[in-house]
Amino acid sequence: MLILLPPSEGKTRPTTGAPLDLEGLSFPTLTATRAQLLRTLVKLSNGNQKRAAEVLGLGPTQAGAVAVNAVLPDEPAARADEVYTGVLFSALDLPTLDGPSRERADRSVAIASALFGLLRPGDRIPAYRLSGTVSLPRLGTVAGRWRAPLPRVMADATGDGLLIDLRSGTYTALGKPPAALEERTATMRVLHEHDGRRKVVSHFNKATKGRIVRGLLESGAEPRTVDELQTTLADLGWTVERAGTRLDVVVAEVEFS
């Protein structure tokens, strides 16, 4: 089983620790692309600061992120599951899992990244700023750099198991699952039902997915098909409806924490 998560734009900047070691990251076939993107990002961030901010889509209050990007190779690195601090990761709260569940997370979870492609939770990274929608000078779109290598890595990491793809559209664009995995790829949508009407609430959608992944890891379940995943989630107390390979999790109460 491979669970694909989106990254979070919000990150906690490590204050201590060894700097980034590209060779030490998981999925080593991605090293060359990571190095190319890192070099380009650092060069851009060391140039005209205003232009760099515009290219990266950063506003006036985010100017400090350009300065951090400029020295990324020397920045302290920490576990990815400690650097990413968005809504999904707060709800998932990987650092507080018990030992066996944390081991399952390190083995089963991968986090999409515009800079690194895919990461395991234990991979040590600095707090960078690069969105999947960015087009870098001379390299073009970030998505274009990953579109070829990522599907191969997904296939290898999934093996003959189930791929649970919880990435947002921006990060799905970095590389879609290969055709061979189509029937074994589950996607998920969280719907809030109120007065007979259903809608997607972005913040709640992320928090619920975080709680769902945490429950899967704590349960020790290893579903191998979309049907088995639906059954597992129902056993964990979720209301789940299936539409092809997509699972709709229907929730009546909106909880944001």
The pLDDT score that the predictor gives to residue 79 is: 96
CA 57 to centroid of chain Cα atoms = 19
CA–CA separation, 226 vs 205, rounded Å?
Answer: 20
Q: Are 225 and 160 in contact (CB under 8 A)?
A: no
Q: Is residue 236 domain-resident?
A: no
Q: Is residue 203 domain-resident?
A: no
Q: Is residue 161 domain-resident?
A: yes
The pLDDT score that the predictor gives to residue 247 is: 97
CA distances from 49 to 39, 74, 75, 129 (A): 16, 19, 19, 14
Number of structural domains (the chain) is: 1
Q: Is residue 198 domain-resident?
A: no
3 state SS of 250: strand
CA–CA separation, 111 vs 165, rounded Å?
Answer: 10
Residue 10 backbone phi and psi in degrees, to 5 = -80, 135
Q: Which two tokens stand for residue 233?
A: 């989630």
CA–CA separation, 214 vs 151, rounded Å?
Answer: 25
Q: Are 31 and 144 in contact (CB under 8 A)?
A: no
The pLDDT score that the predictor gives to residue 138 is: 93
The pLDDT score that the predictor gives to residue 255 is: 56
Q: Mind listing the pLDDT tens digit for each residue in 237-254?
A: 999 999 999 999 998 765
Q: Is residue 116 domain-resident?
A: yes
The pLDDT score that the predictor gives to residue 196 is: 75
HEC secondary structure over 82-136: HHECCHHHHHHCHHHCCHHHHHHHHHHEEEEECCCEEECCCCEECCCCCCCCCEE
The pLDDT score that the predictor gives to residue 254 is: 54
Q: Is residue 74 domain-resident?
A: yes
Q: Is residue 257 domain-resident?
A: no
CA–CA separation, 128 vs 225, rounded Å?
Answer: 35
Domain interval for residue 47: 2-187
The pLDDT score that the predictor gives to residue 257 is: 45
DSSP letter assigned to residue 182:
G
Q: Which residues of the chain have pLDDT under 50?
A: 256-257
Q: Is residue 223 domain-resident?
A: no
Non-local (6+) Cβ contacts of 183 within 8 A are: 226, 245
CA–CA separation, 176 vs 165, rounded Å?
Answer: 9
